[in-house]
Amino acid sequence: MDKIHLPKEIYERLELKENEEIEIVDLAADSFTIRKINARKSDKAPKWFIIPTIISAFIFIIFAFVLKHPHVIALSGNESLATAVITIANAVGMLTFISAYFSRRKEFYKQMTKRSYWRTFATVTLSVLLIVILASMGLFWFLGQIFYGVSFGLFTSTLIFTIFSGIINYVMIFVVDTFSINMMVTMLLVVSIGGFVSSMATNGNQYWWQRNFSLLGTQASRSSWQFNLTLIVSAALFAALIDYIFVSLRQKAGSHYRQNILQVLLTLCAISIALVGLIPNDPGWMHIAHDIVAQLIVLFMAISILGIRWFLPNADPNLYRMSYFIVGLILISYVLWHPIHYLTLTAFEILSFSLSFAWLLLLVNTLINMLWNTKKIYKVSLNSIEEKSEK
């Protein structure tokens, strides 16, 4: 078998032993990937999702008899198949997720610090819970519109419930098996966009946009809890993501006061976003407090964007250009709203929020590249080839 010579740091990084075998995959014209043969992640989802699925099915049958619905169970309603999936299946699914996430904590310590793991544990769990609840509610709302008034017998209901429960438990274990920093970014996208869109669709007032964006979180909206919870969870997930990245950056490159200031600003921005969800824009003192906190978001974001060159002097120049371009677009939209009155307040809020959110994602992507996508140049040695030719 041919041997390959690796630099010492790569040898240590892969935790290789003497004469241990490695494999080269994704071989292309100018690149390849070196991987330990036993480094593949074990896919536990196909094996372990069955146990919680059976447990949730038994709980469903018990509740069917307790609630005196042993023969006919409606698809939607208070005591229905949809309610069972949203409550029982998701609850068991979350226990499955927590168990799997906790059991793999030692493996996660290799890609994040022990402190970062425990800091993000509650936030990631809550975010996953919100995602599956919103997805379940949206799916059964859609099915309820198509199959209006339909009911099923106990056997059919149990079978349908078991299928949905199995899917949820499989997805939960699969998420843990494939968890990474990029998945946290994806979760932030799904929670934020999914929560806001569903709040707009289910708020009960088709003309909400004529007032302002914050109306979705007030008593005037039927989905105010959904809107406010989306803000709180998104803020918590963003704060955890920022903490995870900056803690890893300090471990890799040391502590820099400029980066520390940026982390504080972004964390304060996340806290302000959470407070906007905790303090709805209802009349009285809540309206005043809501406006103050919303203005703090603008302040922290403005300092972060305008000072990005000072905070991260060695970042990709594209980050600076895009930052100033986004600031220009926000200023243009502000002028179109306030002096010119071409845009409504809601349109300006949605535009400014979308642009700010896009900048945050751009910043996170830049920080991730600074942290993990580092490059190092080595000189090629042909000793092994020459030795082989001499033989």
Report the run of H or E that residue 266 belongs to, with start and end.
Answer: helix 257-278
Across the chain, which has 391 residues, the per-10-residue mean pLDDT values are 71 71 71 65 66 91 78 82 91 90 76 70 78 81 83 88 92 82 75 70 58 66 73 81 80 80 91 85 81 87 91 88 91 85 79 87 85 66 52 50
Instruction: Name the phi and psi angles at 9, rounded to 5.
Output: -65, -35
Q: Which DSSP state fits 265?
A: H
The neighbour count for residue 285, using CB atoms within 10 Å, is 9
Q: Which residue has the tokens 């769990």?
A: 125
What distance in Å separates the CA atoms of residue 67 and residue 83, rounded to the nearest whole number? 13
Predicted local confidence at residue 182, as pLDDT? 74
CA 328 to chain centre: 28
Distances (CA, A) of 85 to 60, 142, 163, 230: 9, 14, 10, 21
Name the β-bridge partners of 60.
none
Grouping H, G, I as helix, E, B as strand and the rest as coil, residue 35 is strand
Break the chain into its structural domains and give their ranges.
1-40
Angle ∠(85,52,44) on CA atoms, nearest 5:
120
Predicted local confidence at residue 43, as pLDDT? 56
Contact 160, 81 (CB under 8 A): yes
What distance in Å separates the CA atoms of residue 324 and residue 92, rounded to the nearest whole number? 47
What distance in Å separates the CA atoms of residue 170 and residue 168, rounded to the nearest whole number? 5
Rg (CA), the chain: 26
Predicted local confidence at residue 165, as pLDDT? 92
What distance in Å separates the CA atoms of residue 78 and residue 140, rounded to the nearest whole number? 12
Tell the burial category of 254 from Cβ atoms under 10 Å away from its Cβ (0-12, 13-18, 19+).
exposed
pTM for the predicted model, two decimal places? 0.71
The neighbour count for residue 115, using CB atoms within 10 Å, is 12
Q: Side chain identity at 301, as an amino acid letter?
A: M
Predicted local confidence at residue 385, as pLDDT? 47
Predicted local confidence at residue 176, as pLDDT? 83
Predicted local confidence at residue 161, as pLDDT? 92
